[in-house]
Each structure stands twice: as C-alpha cells, then as structure tokens.
Amino acid sequence: MAYYLGIDIGGTNIACGIVNDNCEIIARSKVKTNAPRPYGEILADIIRGAKLACEEAGISPSELDSVGIGCPGTCNQDTGAVEYSNNLGFVNVPLRPDVEKALGVKTFLGNDADAAAYGEYCAGAAKGAENAVVITLGTGVGSGIIIGGKIYSGSNFAGGEIGHTVISVDGRPCTCGRKGCFEAYSSATGLVNITRDYAEKYPASLMAKLIKQDGRISARTAYAAMKQGDEAGRIVTDEYVKYLAVGIANVINIFQPDVLCIGGGVCNEGDTLLVPLKKAVKEQVYSKNSAKNTEIVICSLGNDAGIIGAAMLHRSCK
C-alpha cells in the first residue's frame, strides 16, 4: 500500500492527512496557521504538522511515496514557489523545495482551490468524470478546473479564477478591485450583502426580525425566512439563485464539463437551492438541446477535499 501526504494550507489551519491509494485519509493532524507572520515560522509549522500526521499513521516521512501541498495564491509548478498569496503574506517563497528538503520526499505544489477540486475529482462528487469544474461558495468564490483528468491552471499558473469574471457590469464592488464579479454576488458574503439590503428595505419582514434576534446576518438567514413563508426571504433567495445561475451558465458555456460541482455552507440547503438553480441554468446554457448536458451536483467531501486533492497532486502532474 502506498501512502501520500496531503497538506492543505488555510488562513486559519494547516491540515495534513496521510492518504492511501484508495483516496482514504487514514491519519491526520492540524496546526494553526496564525497568518500573517514570517514565512519561516509558517514553514516550520507545516513541517511539524506533516510529521505529526506521519506519527499518527505509524510511518516515517521516508515511507511516503509523495507529498502534495495545496496553498492559497499563485503557485508556480515549474519552480515550486508560491509567487503571491495575499492571505498568507507570501511573495516568491520556495515552498515546494523547502518542504521537499525537510521531509526528503518528492513534493508537488498547487493552488488550494485546484487541490480541493482535484479531491472531488479523485474521490468525491466528480469521480468518474473526464472534465469537471468545482466551484466553492464561501467567503469568496473558489474554483478549480479539471480537463482530461489534469488540473488546468493556465500558462502562468493563475488560471481558473471564475469568481473574478464579471456578471453585472458596474455592479457591486469586489475585493479584487473590479465591479460586478461573480464572487460579489454568489459567495456566502454576497448572499449576506443581498440579505442586508433587503432587510433594510423590508424592516417589518420575518427576515429582518431574524437578524435582530440573532444579532447577525448569515448565509442561512434568508433561506430560514423563506422556508417560513417570508416574502423578503423569497426575494433574496430568488435573486441569489439568479446571479448564481448566470455565473454557472457562463462556466458551462465555456467548458461544457461532464459535471459541475458546487460546495460551501450555502449548499447545505440541498434541493432548496439545487432545484431552482438547475432550472435557471438550463434556461440559459447554449447546449440546452444537446444529447449530453453538464450535471450540476453538490460536493461530497467537505473539508477533506483539500487534503485528498493535495495528496493526489502527483497524478495530475504526471
């Protein structure tokens, strides 16, 4: 049995897992990222987390077949450097060579969203597909593109930023500096902003009352109100699905993947989200009369996707 180490570097935690040939996590560890701080300190904790996972599995690093790292930002797969990661404060840091030297094992590096998408492709909702797109609706919109079983990251390793395609010209400001990005409307943050706008417009609504009761707005607020028959909640969820469908239809029109997976907390709504979303997308895709259309499904691996995908990066890099 071969063993692979997957390292998923997040803004909060560095999650490590030992993964076998069946894409099963057999041991794991977690250490705090505590970013931003000096690269050397974060690197030391990455190595510590890797060794802890090996100890948990009862193996030494020398017994690993390979190591894979999923890291936020632009990851140069030729040099192994993280060229830029805003969340971590990395600028041209030699992450792959440093980890490879410390552990003595062949190491691969990729963007964290790409790694998570590859995890779904290897062992999750996109398993069995030849071409797939995975979109994660979180604080932002993460995405990964799999073409012919390989991660597509463009000629400069910064491709696949679906969240920063514009779906509303001169629309809501996005953190990237543009206006009207898919992320500004379809992330969990975008849903919260739409909810806030309509709660102010309909102060007597159940949705507004739920916000006062909870003392906060979440991505669940509008859906909770809608399920209780609240009109303002229905307006918000309809608007959210409208924008989400536009972005997803654009992706399907460009890539025509076998499957498009969506993940993130808002997907916990299940069919309440998925049924109207599929209907809206079907009305917009160019291929609606094709004999084979893209299947839209919800991701199945949760936070494990990043670990599994990172561990399996050796497959995509062959």
Q: Looking at the structure, do residues 170 and 68 belong to the same domain, yes or no?
A: no
Q: Strands, DSSP E only, in the chain?
A: 3-9, 13-20, 25-32, 66-71, 74-75, 82-85, 90-93, 107-111, 132-137, 141-147, 150-151, 259-263, 295-298
Query: What are 267-290's pLDDT values in tens digits?
Result: 999 999 999 999 999 999 997 777
Query: What are 143-189's pLDDT values in tens digits?
Result: 999 999 999 999 999 999 999 999 999 999 998 999 999 999 999 99
Q: Looking at the structure, do residues 253 and 309 belong to the same domain, yes or no?
A: no
Q: Looking at the structure, do residues 108 and 182 belong to the same domain, yes or no?
A: no
**pLDDT at residue 279, as a whole number:** 97
**pLDDT at residue 318, as a whole number:** 64
**pLDDT (average), residues 260-265:** 96
Q: Looking at the structure, do residues 87 and 38 belong to the same domain, yes or no?
A: yes
List Cβ neighbours of 318 (8 Å cut-off, separation of 6 or more). Answer: none
Q: Looking at the structure, do residues 191 and 164 belong to the same domain, yes or no?
A: yes
Segment 94-98 long-range contacts (CB within 8 Å, at least 24 positions apart):
95/43, 95/69, 95/71, 96/69, 98/43
Q: Looking at the structure, do residues 230 and 144 belong to the same domain, yes or no?
A: yes
**pLDDT (average), residues 51-77:** 96
- Distances from the Cα of 240 to the Cα of 165, 191, 192, 245, angstroms: 16, 6, 10, 9
Q: Looking at the structure, do residues 137 and 206 belong to the same domain, yes or no?
A: yes
Domain that holds residue 281: 127-298
Q: Looking at the structure, do residues 113 and 172 belong to the same domain, yes or no?
A: no
Mean pLDDT computed over every residue of the chain: 96
Q: Looking at the structure, do residues 10 and 33 belong to the same domain, yes or no?
A: yes
Q: Please tell me the total count of domains within the chain.
A: 2
Q: Looking at the structure, do residues 202 and 153 belong to the same domain, yes or no?
A: yes
The CATH number for 41's domain is 3.30.420.40
Q: Looking at the structure, do residues 96 and 241 belong to the same domain, yes or no?
A: no
- Report yes or no on whether pTM surpasses 0.75: yes
Q: Looking at the structure, do residues 23 and 132 belong to the same domain, yes or no?
A: no
